[in-house]
Amino acid sequence: SSNRELIDQLNTDHQLAHEQWVQLISSFDQDDQTYATEMAHQLAVAKYGKNIFFRGIIEYTNYCRNDCKYCGIRRSNHQVQRYRLTKEDILSCCADGYASGFRTFVLQGGEDIFFTTDMFTDIIATIRQQYPDCAITLSIGEGSREAYQQYFDAGANRFLLRHETASAALYRRWHPAYQKFEHRMECLRELKEIGYQTGCGFMVGAPFQTADVLAEDMEYVTAFKPQMLGIGPFIPHSQTPFRDFSPGNEELTLFILSLCRILQPDVLLPATTALGTVQGNGRQLGVLAGCNVVMPNLSPLRVRKQYLLYDNKAGIRDDAASGIKKLTEQMNQIGYKVVSSRGDYQPNTGKK
Ligand code: SAM
């Protein structure tokens, strides 16, 4: 089949065979890309209108017990100045965010064992109590089922845990032996079982990643059916073992985002900060390729340059208000409106 036929097939069947994914990902040309972009954009507009959900990210700690070879805040990077926000700091980020219209707060951090399960539960419960109309999303890495359940019971609604790669062999090249692929995958299953709106995801163009591996990622997404999907280009960080690798290709990232929208038309799909970092208008291009979520940074300005997962991260010099303003303008420029509803996942029902 031609690539166009494969894109049509994806649109009707919502799945492809492994070899078909490999073909599409490794041989698409400009015309195929345009075709997928337009289809994905139309699907997103049909489902969500020209509306973008904003989620406020609060990067509450850059301490991390893990040592992912691609990540700037890995534990072996001793050049990072470490910080953690207090409960009061976090609540004041929420207050500012709420005043700016945010109804989803994303707590993201390294895996910081300073925050015990009970401490973190207390933070979630307090946000839940103060902001009953807001969604709370966690992006805090791997944990026990009991901890995940406790956070859910305290009021957390959503959880982002990128699977990073669906290839166990590649996962082992990217992480030290104590970080287990099987455990990360188990966490994803547990999160969904507990009842979180769950997001998986991966980087595009990361070291040693092939079309074959990306095809496995697409198959994993097909089987897992996440409510959210976090995908952005790999960008090297100069203080990591992967410093000398090239960044992920922007066109390929956008193409994959479009394929994800076509695969799962109702998925919540952010145009990521990494996409906005490889190119100034990357997040606009992401929205035009099918994304419907943008995640502005609500972290205090003083800690932003310490939460660097990769080099040249977009927005580290803007305070929350000016970052939000810039992103709002970017969305308005392409004819989109930022909406301040919680923006929960709304599955398509009654329709294949
Ligand atoms: N520690 C939590 C976890 O593991 O899910 C959340 C924070 S972690 C830093 C968030 C995401 O950043 C990771 O899932 C990874 O995909 C992404 N990331 C890390 N280093 C990156 C890099 N060099 N380029 C692009 N994305 C990166």
pLDDT digits over 330-346, tens only?
999 999 999 988 999 98
Q: Could you tell me if 211 and 26 are in contact, meaning their C-beta atoms sit under 8 angstroms apart?
A: yes
Mean pLDDT of all residues in the chain?
96
Residue 351 has pLDDT above 70, yes or no: no
Name the 3-class secondary structure at 39.
helix
Q: CATH number of 30-339: 2.40.30.10, 3.20.20.70, 3.90.226.30, 3.40.50.170?
A: 3.20.20.70
> How confident is the model at residue 139, as a pLDDT?
98
Query: What is the tens place of the pLDDT at every residue in 3-25?
Result: 999 999 999 999 999 999 999 99
Mean pLDDT of 345-350: 75
Residue 242 pLDDT greater than 60, yes or no: yes
Q: Report the nearest atom of ligand 1 relative to the CA of 310.
A: 23
pLDDT for the residue 340: 83
pTM: predicted TM-score of the whole model, two decimal places: 0.97
Pocket test for ligand 1, best of 70, 187, 238 (most atoms within 8 A of CB): 70
Contacts 24+ apart (CB under 8 A), 214-218: 214/21, 214/25, 214/256, 215/18, 215/21, 215/22, 215/25, 216/18, 216/165, 216/166, 216/167, 217/163, 217/165, 217/166, 218/16, 218/21, 218/25, 218/256, 218/259, 218/260, 218/263
Tens-digit pLDDT profile for residues 123-179: 999 999 999 999 999 999 999 999 999 999 999 999 999 999 999 999 999 999 999
Question: Over the stretch 279-333, which tens digit does the pLDDT of each residue have?
Answer: 999 999 999 999 999 999 999 999 999 999 999 999 999 888 899 999 999 999 9
Tell how far the Cα of 309 is from the centroid of ligand 1, in angstroms. Answer: 6
In the structure, what pLDDT confidence band is assigned to residue 352 with cuts at 50, 70 and 90? very low
Instruction: Give the C-alpha distances (Å, rounded to integers) separating 204 from 77, 210, 217.
Output: 23, 10, 10
What is the distance in A from the centroid of ligand 1 to the CA of 3? 31
Nearest CA to ligand 1 atom 4: 141
DSSP 307-341: --SSTT-TTTTS-HHHHHHHHHHHHHHTT-EEE-S
At 173-203, the pLDDT tens digits run 999 999 999 999 999 999 999 999 999 999 9
pLDDT interval class at 349 (50, 70, 90): low
